[in-house]
Amino acid sequence: MGVQAEIEFPVIEFRSADLERGTDGWHRLCKRVREACETFGCFEVAYKKISTEVREETFGLMKELIEVPVERKQKNASPMPYHGWVGPCNQVSLLYEGFGLGDASNYDSVKSFAQLMWPDGHPRFCNTIHTMATQIEELNKLIWLMLIDSYGLGEKWESVMINYKTLVRFMKYMAPPPGEYERGLFAHTDKPVSTIICDDHVSGLEIEVNDGQWIKLSLSPSSFCFVVGDPLKAWSNGRLKAVNHRVMMSGDKDRLSLAAFAIPVEGTIIKAPRELIDEQHPQLYKDFNFMDFFLFAFSDPAKHIDSGEQLQAFASLSPPISN
């Protein structure tokens, strides 16, 4: 089925005045964020706290990164899914290239990455990317806090908040041959807890709104897209939707995007708070170690399972258990 434009995709502006926890503005935002994540599994967040300068500078630096010789790109290697460099290939797409930078709000990690790519360690890259990653991490925490508050769990937020590191992926999608509409990234649901994406204003990201109906997002210059991943769906006992999304390329421009993924620290157990489990909402998923699920999703047996069904295959409790 084709791309549909008339569905109203949620765009939520985070004005500084509304970001003070407990205010009316905050509660209004919490409600909208929750509704968007329950209905669409993602939303566009307009957030001016991350300056246009940092953003533009980031995309400028990504263009430099793309130019690095392939022998150095290959040094960005990791056995962990999402964490290393992937060049154009049939498994992903011939249009795709992506780099992984783990724990990106930690200056030393950014430095180690930059040292692999450039002999002088590119200090400007380190400063800008560290700033960008730290600010996106802050935005992600804010959104999690809104979700926690929206479910009335604010008082115990510390015990339900998941500890995580931010993994940044820098991605480039090549323009397809003239007149073509081609896959840049296959349809999937995210395996990290949540993701924040921004691009250089060349659209390509599409989300599935109903079975088989896709909408293309065009993010505004100060916007990011927040995406619910499978573990966040499990945490919410199925209330939040892990949205199926993909990248499709058309036109003659290459696209750059940056995704910041929330990767829980070693040993984190994904577990729905007991307040989210009752007779009307029986427990849908067993408690699970994030890393077990993450590795399962990229294992050989899971490759035959549709991305959106992997959580079900790994963690579903059937029959569901009521509290």
Ligand X SMILES: O=C(O)CCC(=O)C(=O)O
- Measured between alpha carbons, how far is 197 from 102 in angstroms, rounded to an integer? 16
Residue with tokens 């945490």: 235
Query: Exposed/middle/buried for 5, CB within 10 Å: 0-12, 13-18, 19+?
Result: exposed
Q: Whole-number minimum distance, CB 157 to ligand X, in Å? A: 27
Of Fe ion, ligand X, none, which one sits near residue 57, judging by CB under 5 to 8 A according to partner kind? none
Of ligand X, Fe ion, none, which one sits near residue 262, judging by CB under 5 to 8 A according to partner kind? none
- Measured between alpha carbons, how far is 254 from 20 in angstroms, rounded to an integer? 39
Nearer to Fe ion, 44 or 190 (CB): 190
Q: Whole-number minimum distance, CB 21 to ligand X, in Å? A: 29
Strand order in 182-188's β-sheet? 182-188, 245-249, 205-210, 213-216
Q: Whole-number minimum distance, CB 61 to ligand X, in Å? A: 17
Of Fe ion, ligand X, none, which one sits near residue 29, judging by CB under 5 to 8 A according to partner kind? none
| Total number of residues that touch ligand X (CB under 6 A) | 11
Q: Under the criterion CB under 5 A, does residue 199 sit at the interface with Fe ion?
A: no
Q: Whole-number minimum distance, CB 120 to Fe ion, in Å? A: 33
Nearer to Fe ion, 72 or 188 (CB): 188
Q: Whole-number minimum distance, CB 68 to Fe ion, in Å? A: 24
- Residue 260 sits at φ, ψ, to 5 deg, of -110, 115
DSSP, res 266 = T
Nearer to ligand X, 57 or 190 (CB): 190
Residues 6+ apart with CB under 8 A from 49: 14, 16, 135, 138, 139
Q: Under the criterion CB under 5 A, does residue 190 sit at the interface with Fe ion?
A: yes
Q: Which helix (H) or strand (E) holds 227?
A: strand 223-228
Sign of CA dihedral 272, 273, 277, 281: negative
Nearer to ligand X, 148 or 205 (CB): 205
Q: Under the criterion CB under 6 A, does residue 259 sit at the interface with ligand X?
A: yes
**Which of the residues 21 through 40 are near ligand X (CB under 6 A)?**
none
Q: Under the criterion CB under 6 A, does residue 257 sit at the interface with ligand X?
A: yes
CB 132 within 8 A of CB 50: yes
**Which of the residues 250 through 309 are near Fe ion (CB under 5 A)?**
none
Query: Exposed/middle/buried for 271, CB within 10 Å: 0-12, 13-18, 19+?
Result: middle
42 strand-pairing partners: 227
Q: Which of 36, 205, 260, 276 binds ligand X (CB under 6 A)?
A: 205
Nearer to ligand X, 190 or 230 (CB): 190
- Measured between alpha carbons, how far is 90 from 183 in angstroms, rounded to an integer? 11
Instruction: Candidates 106-114, 182-190, 234-242, 272-280: pick the segment binding Fe ion (CB under 5 A).
Output: 182-190
Q: Under the criterion CB under 6 A, does residue 247 sit at the interface with ligand X?
A: yes
Nearer to ligand X, 185 or 234 (CB): 185
- Measured between alpha carbons, how far is 55 from 72 in angstroms, rounded to an integer? 25
Nearer to ligand X, 140 or 237 (CB): 140
CB 44 within 8 A of CB 225: yes
Three-state DSSP class for residue 20: coil
Amino acid at 162: I
**Which of the residues 158 through 197 are near ligand X (CB under 6 A)?**
169, 171, 185, 190, 197
DSSP, res 154 = G
Q: Whole-number minimum distance, CB 154 to ligand X, in Å? A: 30
Q: Site residues (CB under 6 A) for ligand X?
A: 169, 171, 185, 190, 197, 199, 205, 245, 247, 257, 259
Q: Site residues (CB under 5 A) for Fe ion?
A: 190
